[in-house]
């Protein structure tokens, strides 16, 4: 493993925006992960970047160490006890398909989520009536503060809607998921149905990062944005999708600052007209304040 400097991050995110990482490493094992963390100053901020589907990196870049897990963290193991162990770097659609092919039911909702296992655990990713908290047995996590690997169950992870107890002090290494026996053909049909629904209702094939806002209690952010006539609302080269109000689509040449401004504008308009304070699901990393004042 090699520690690199000033590595462009835009190609690693679904929005294709943002500046470089001050330091970058792709550890393939826990030992390499620990070595990478130990190679930078102790106060260096650390960001784990999975498939880049829920993150917007500032145009100035990320002033710390960015870790992109691979190797051991990309493995999937079908266990005899009915659980599936998956590394943090495993793409969620791949996990869903492998489970279906093996006749393991319960993980099909992951097929339409463009993230990885690590991100799913950290934010309790979900969709189509299910979420990670419902299927997770436990997660293996590297605690940066303690410098040790720990195993955490659902109680310790304190799952809530699109959140968990994990933060930037933790690196998810992998997780175990509970499954039930299922007929592969039926499970495959379920995956196809979810995929068709997503293609019909969400702007696939565009530069986007999935849902921008968390749904407020008892409602849907997309419905609220649509009802206010904000589909197509634009800031520079970023616009609210005309297909789904909770997806913001970027054009080539867009900037992270434009995405941030559009999110803030839509939040402001929704709050002024409805009194509802939408909470972003997107993570903005790097120094956006410097860009705003610079």
For residue 49, CA distances in Å to 46, 84, 146, 236 come to: 10, 23, 21, 26
From CA 280, how far away is CA 293, in angstroms rounded? 22
Tell me the three state secondary structure of residue 95: helix
CB atoms within 10 A of CB 145: 7
Catalytic pick among 26, 190, 258, 281? 281
Nearest residue to 274 (alpha-carbon basis) of 242, 232, 229, 237: 229
Give Rg (Cα) of the chain.
Answer: 19
29 noted as active-site residue: no
Catalytic pick among 53, 116, 211, 241? 211
For residue 275, CA distances in Å to 46, 265, 272 come to: 36, 14, 6
What is the chain's length?
294
From CA 14, how far away is CA 206, in angstroms rounded? 9
211 noted as active-site residue: yes
Nearest residue to 86 (alpha-carbon basis) of 107, 66, 103: 107
From CA 70, how far away is CA 287, in angstroms rounded? 27
281 noted as active-site residue: yes
From CA 72, how far away is CA 53, in angstroms rounded? 21
Catalytic pick among 51, 97, 162, 176? 162
From CA 246, how far away is CA 219, in angstroms rounded? 12
Nearest residue to 285 (alpha-carbon basis) of 230, 231, 209: 209
Question: Active-site positions?
Answer: 162, 211, 281
């Amino acid at each position: 493993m090699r520690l690199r400097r000033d590595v462009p991050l835009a190609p690693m995110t679904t929005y294709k925006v943002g500046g470089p990482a001050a330091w970058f490493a792709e550890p393939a094992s826990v030992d390499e992960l620990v070595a990478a963390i130990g190679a930078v100053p102790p106060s260096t901020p650390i960001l784990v970047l999975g498939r880049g589907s829920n993150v917007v990196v500032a145009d100035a870049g990320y002033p710390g160490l960015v870790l992109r897990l691979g190797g051991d963290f990309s493995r999937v193991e079908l266990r005899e006890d009915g659980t599936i162990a998956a590394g943090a770097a495993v793409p969620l659609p791949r996990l869903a398909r492998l489970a279906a092919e093996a006749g393991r039911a319960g993980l099909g909702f992951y097929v339409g989520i463009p993230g990885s296992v690590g991100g799913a655990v950290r934010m309790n990713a979900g969709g189509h009536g299910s979420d990670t908290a419902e299927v997770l047995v436990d997660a293996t996590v590297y605690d940066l503060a303690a410098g040790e690997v720990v195993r955490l169950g659902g109680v310790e992870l304190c799952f809530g809607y699109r959140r968990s107890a994990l933060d930037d002090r933790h690196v998810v290494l992998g997780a175990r998921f509970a499954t039930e026996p299922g007929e592969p053909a039926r499970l495959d049909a379920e995956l196809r149905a979810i995929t068709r629904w997503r293609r019909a209702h969400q702007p696939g094939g565009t530069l986007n990062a999935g849902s921008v806002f968390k749904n407020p209690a008892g409602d849907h952010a997309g419905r609220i944005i649509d009802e206010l006539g904000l589909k197509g609302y634009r800031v520079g080269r970023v616009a609210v999708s005309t297909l789904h109000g909770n997806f913001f689509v970027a054009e080539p040449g867009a900037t992270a600052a434009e995405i941030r401004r559009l999110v803030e504008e839509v939040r402001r308009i929704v709050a002024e007209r409805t009194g509802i304070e939408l909470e972003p699901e997107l993570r903005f990393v790097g120094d956006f304040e410097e860009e705003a004042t610079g």
